[in-house]
Structures are given as structure tokens and as C-alpha cells.
A and B are shown apart, each in its own frame.
Chain A
Amino acid sequence: MMLTINGTDHPIPDDIRRTLLDFMREDLGLVGTKKGCDHGQCGACTVHVDGRRILSCLQLAATVPGAVTTIEGIVTEGDLHPMQAAFLEHDAYQCGYCTPGQIMSAIACVNEGHIRSDREIAEWMSGNLCRCAAYTQIRAAIRACTLQTAEAST
């Protein structure tokens, strides 16, 4: 059994209790994904599986249902992902610990189309807590990234 993370195949761990989060951080050195609560309540560990956002702390590495993309996997040829650039531009963080999870969730939020209003963005980003409370700037970054993407595609 192999597990694909950011395009690379890895053998799954022997201990089936290993979460995807611990497997990536401790066994593979992929420390971009963060561990916050470790109980699915904070969203810091958000990654994508086949393009859908999931919590890697509640996902056993041995039962991942698809290909994983992490914050390390969204950079193309050294360029920041537009959502990363928007977070920088809008100061959408303070301590930065929740930021990789916020960005992975924000990318999914845009792809799902849940960006028609600030209220809708807030609802669909509610699985990601920010204890520095940078919520206003996070929503601004998502709005700006959405506009940029819309302009690029016209």
C-alpha cells in the first residue's frame, strides 16, 4: 500500500494508529502542516485529498482515500500560490501557526464557490480557528484572491 503526498509515493506506516498528520510531520519531515488541537476542532492540520479539504489529525495514514496535497505542494516552480500571496499582501496572520491550514481551507473555499459574501466566507471558513483573530484580514485575502483569479480567467 502506497500513499501519495504532493506527487510522491510513500509506503504507509506499520502502526495503523499513525495519523496522516503525525506521519507527515514526524516520519516524512513535512512540517508545513501544523498540529493544533489534534482533535478536529481547530483546522490547523487542514490538507487536501483529491482536491477536497480534510483534517489530517483525524485521518489515519493507512486509510487515506486519495492523493494528498499539503501547503508544501501548492507552490509552482518556486512561485507562491495566489492564496499565499494574498495572505502576505493582506497581513492575514499574526503568529502564523494556523496559516497553512487557513490557506488550504481558503483555496478549497474558493474552488467550492463559497465566496459570495463575507458572511458566506465566514461560515465556510468556520472550521479554521485563529487565536490571533486575524479573521478580517483572512476574509480580505480570500476576497482579493477571488477577484484576482476571476480577472486572470477573463
Chain B
Amino acid sequence: MSRPILHRQGAPAAAESWIAGGTNLVDLMKLGIEQPAGLVDLGPRRATLSGIADADGGLTLGAMTTLAETERDLRIQRDYPAVHLALALAASPQIREMATLGGNLLQRTRCTYFRDGHSPCNKRAPGTGCSAIGGDDAALAILGTSENCMANYPGDLAVALVMLGADMSVEDRDGRRRRIAVQDLYRLPGATPNHETTLAHGDLITAIHLPVPTWTGQTYVKLRDRASYAFASASAAVALEFDGSKVSSARITIGGLATVPWRCAAAEGRLIGRVLDERTAMETGRACLAEATPSPTQDHKVELGARAVAKALVVASHMHFSIKAGHSDGP
């Protein structure tokens, strides 16, 4: 491989790539999975592309704001606890100081067959097949899979953002801007698992827009194989509003178990008008996994996902009723 070139301005040419925090890209370059002919360093644009600003009752997050900077923001801690927890439970403190919000949304799967550089993998080498199907699939997806790929989306932040209905600003290589929902960034693997997002080459995420925080109960629950610094075995982001004792609005998204951040619209609808007790929470959790297609070695993941949702619903519900009763713990 020839030595790549570094640009300090402009947009990446064909076979070139943007680089921001680099935590995922540099790792994949070392593994030979990514072999860019050149890199365009976003460092010189950091001043204009980072920072958190109030915006019509919501917040605009510059895409080059680091995960750690976002996590430290008091508005995030106070008004967007699901986002705060998704960040605080992500990666390690050092990686959170490096990684940017935009880059985090675009991180690649940790499927070991994708990362080993040689196994047949339709995502890395289209048309070669999928080694995970029928292979070691315990860490991989049970929702949104296809006969070509079962790699899971590994991130935390996107799960919280999709749950909130956040959108983002994207700039194309000619500087034209558009807004798209974070949910619409991700593509199901289908027949082309190598096409992971709806972005075109040279597109750049410039900002993430958080909506006005109307929810009174909101959280992110992450279950993992060790106490800290691990990808989610299953996770759930939820936000609730209540009318008296009954749920009037519910949003639920699942992470760790799906090929994309997985919104559970049908299960959300079942909660409306009901009192949220632990039994209802567990029923809702199971409903969120209704479409799961686990292999025989993935059976446990259905229960894990259902319990992640149930726990998040109970925590969010307690948050609402304790704030209402004036027992807010505060940050």
C-alpha cells in the first residue's frame, strides 16, 4: 500500500476519507480494513464544527464536539439524560476525549469476521459470503439481519438520538447543506451490507440537532459482559410522558441487538393509556423483540433485550413520578 496523503482543506477525493477523532478509522487502518489513499484532516475546522448551542428550546451539537465535552455539558446532563448516559457508558474516558459526535455515529461494526481481514464477509468484501451466519454469532444481531449479513451496529449515542427523533445537518462535497433524521442515516444490510449509511462520498455531518426536551422520564440502559468499557450486549433508550398515572407518549429504541439503531414503534403504541407497572414494562420489552430472528446460539439475547427495555421503562417512569413529587435527585 502506498503512503497516503494528508490534506488540511477541501473534501476527500475518491478513495480518500475524512479524519476527525480517528479512534475507529486509525484502528481499521492498522487492521488493513480501511486503506484510504488520502485523509482530509478536519482539525482546521474544529473551531467552527464544535460546541453546543441553545436552539429554539433544543440544542445544536457541533459534529466535532467530543463525546467527553458533550457528556460534561450541564444542559445535556439536565435535559437529555438518555444522551448523557449513552455517552458516559460508551468506550473509555480516553476514547471519549478523542472521539467526535459525527464520527461516533459512523463507527463500523465490531463483528470479528469483518475485522479479521480475511474471512468471507459481504460487508468488507461484497459477494464473498457471511462467515457469521452459522458461525460464532453470540455477539451479533437478531434484528434487521439479512441472508447476507448479521453484523450489529455497535454504538450507544445513535440509539439515544434515534429514540429522541434527533436530526442532523449534512454538508455535501460542494458545500450544500441538508437535514436528515438520524434514523434515516442507517441502512439495513439487505443485499448490500457494504452500504451502511445514506451518505454519499464526501458528505460531512456538521451538526446534530436535539429536539425540545418534553419528556419527563428518559434514560438509557446498557447491559454488557463486564462492568465497564465494553460494547452493549443489549441496550435500550426510552422517553416517556404521562397524563396523570397513565402513559401519554412513549419512545423506545434498542441497541446492541440490531443491524441499525432499532426503533420499536409498534411496542410504543401498546403503552399509550396504560399504567406502567413492572408487568407492563416486561410485556413491552418482549413486544420490542417480537420480530427477532435469533439463531440457536442467540436465544438468550431475546430475553436480554426485553429486560433492557423493561428496566429502562421502570427507571424512566420512576424519574417522572419522583420529579412530579419533588424528589428530583438532580445531577
Residues of chain A at the chain B interface (Cβ within 8 Å): 15-17, 19, 38-40, 43, 46, 49, 52-55, 58-60, 62-63, 65, 105, 108-109, 112, 122-127
Contacts and interface: CB of A to CB of B under 8 A. Distances in A.
A38 B93 contact: no
B39 A16 contact: yes
Contacts of B30: 38-39
B46 A43 contact: no
Interface string B64-104: 00001000000000000000000000011111011000000
A40 B19 CA distance: 17
B6 interface: yes
Interface in B112-144: none
B23 A40 contact: yes
26 contacts: A15-B3, A16-B3, A16-B4, A16-B6, A17-B3, A39-B30, A52-B68, A52-B97, A53-B94, A55-B95, A58-B23, A58-B26, A58-B27, A58-B98, A59-B26, A63-B39, A65-B43, A65-B46, A105-B94, A108-B93, A123-B227, A124-B93, A126-B93, A126-B228, A127-B91, A127-B229
A145 B46 CA distance: 35
A40 B95 contact: yes
A54 B6 CA distance: 22
B51 interface: no
Interface residues of B, number: 26
A49 B39 CA distance: 21
Given A54-B97, A126-B227, 15 more contacts: A15-B3, A17-B4, A40-B23, A40-B92, A40-B94, A43-B92, A53-B93, A55-B23, A58-B27, A59-B26, A60-B39, A63-B39, A108-B93, A126-B93, A127-B95
